[in-house]
Amino acid sequence: MAEHDIPRATAKRLPIYYRYLKLLLDAGTTRVSSNELSDAVKFDAATIRRDFSYFGALGKRGYGYDVKALMTFFGEILNQDTLASVALVGVGNLGQALLNFNFHQSSNARISAAFDINEDIVNTIQAGVPVYSLDDLEKQISDQRIDVAILTVPAPVAQDLANRLAKAGVHGILNFTPLRLDVPSDVRVQNVDLTNELQTLLYFINNFGGAEA
Ligand SMILES: NC(=O)c1ccc[n+]([C@@H]2O[C@H](COP(=O)([O-])OP(=O)(O)OC[C@H]3O[C@@H](n4cnc5c(N)ncnc54)[C@H](O)[C@@H]3O)[C@@H](O)[C@H]2O)c1
């Protein structure tokens, strides 16, 4: 958890800054201006300067920002050095796709355990990740110190599983199901809804043309 008191919108942009800075650093670039960053990540330069100012960072007029210093700084805030183990519950169409996607390449998280009730895939390894029986949920979450779970099960069983996950000690749920989950106050839920995203996109295209929202 970041100890800096920053707006949520800024916090959401941090991983995007971080990924781009990593690209720059890998390409041997040592400094970057807010305008160059703006071109690459598509937030306006004023937003970027304001975001960075929350951290007391770090730009110099006529020089821009030091890429390595920014990376180190954001890396610490984002905890890039600690690899977070994530559970995936529900290894169906969507779950499989997420297993195949290598989160670890671009973030500090990796799916380390998957769970399902389908006997055909329980006790197999899918995309390098062991699939456990749902009966092992609590034990694996505790043994592997899993703090975050991705929920890709049918909606009717989602609340039950959210209850179990919360009870087992999970503090974050990335919820792909259409159900809005009730969770204890120490659990954070992030809902992902591709239909919503698509509708929003269509709305903006239809009402404002191609310009970005
Ligand atoms: N957010 C989005 O944009 C989006 C997009 C597609 C699907 N979805 C949602 O994601 C969920 C999964 O969709 P899908 O197409 O992968 O479905 P699917 O039927 O292919 O997969 C569901 C998986 O969950 C497993 N399962 C069922 N009950 C379980 C339980 N109690 N515990 C553990 N595993 C259980 C099934 O065996 C199956 O492997 C659905 O709720 C769907 O509505 C969301």
Give the chain as a 3 state SS string: CCCCCCCHHHHHHHHHHHHHHHHHHHCCCCEECHHHHHHHHCCCHHHHHHHHHCCCCCCECCCEEEHHHHHHHHHHHHCCCCCEEEEEECCCHHHHHHHHCCHHHHCCEEEEEEEECCCCCCCCEECCEEEEEHHHHHHHHHHCCCCEEEECCCHHHHHHHHHHHHHHCCCEEEECCCCCCCCCCCCEEEECCHHHHHHHHHHHHHHHCCCCC
**pLDDT-derived band at 185, boundaries 50, 70, 90:** very high
Atom of ligand 1 nearest to the CA of 175: 1
Q: Indicate if 92 and 173 belong to the same structural domain.
A: yes
User: Two tokens at 139?
Assistant: 């034990």
Q: Indicate if 112 and 188 belong to the same structural domain.
A: yes
CB neighbours of 144 closer than 8 A, spacing ≥ 6?
85, 87, 112, 113
pLDDT tens digits along 13-56: 888 898 899 889 889 999 998 889 999 898 999 999 888 888 77
Reported ipTM exceeds the 0.85 cut:
yes
Where does a domain end: 47, 78, 109?
78
- Spacing, Cα 15 to ligand 1 middle (Å): 27
Best of 94, 124, 196 for a ligand 1 pocket test (most atoms within 8 Å of beta carbon): 94
pLDDT tens digits along 47-71: 998 888 887 766 666 778 889 888 8
- Is 95:152 a contact under the CB 8 Å cutoff? yes
Q: Indicate if 57 and 90 belong to the same structural domain.
A: no
Beta bridge partners of 151: 89, 175
Structural domain boundaries, residue 54: 8-78
pLDDT tens digits along 128-150: 899 999 999 999 999 999 999 99
- Spacing, Cα 137 to ligand 1 middle (Å): 17
Q: How far apart are CA 209 and CA 93, in angstroms?
A: 33
Q: What is the pLDDT of residue 59?
A: 65
Average pLDDT over residues 79-98: 90
- Binding-site members for NAD(+) are 90-95
Q: Total domain count for the chain?
A: 2
Q: What percent of the chain has pLDDT over 70?
A: 91
Q: What is the pLDDT of residue 63?
A: 77
- Residue 116: inside a domain, yes or no? yes
Q: Indicate if 55 and 106 belong to the same structural domain.
A: no
Q: What is the pLDDT of residue 177?
A: 97
Q: What is the pLDDT of residue 1?
A: 39
Q: Indicate if 105 and 53 belong to the same structural domain.
A: no
| Summary mean pLDDT of the chain | 88
Dihedral sign, CA of 35, 40, 42, 43? negative
Q: Does 105 have pLDDT greater than 80?
A: no
pLDDT tens digits along 192-206: 999 988 998 998 888
Q: What is the pLDDT of residue 61?
A: 67
- Residue 203: inside a domain, yes or no? no
Q: What is the pLDDT of residue 58?
A: 64
- Spacing, Cα 177 to ligand 1 middle (Å): 7
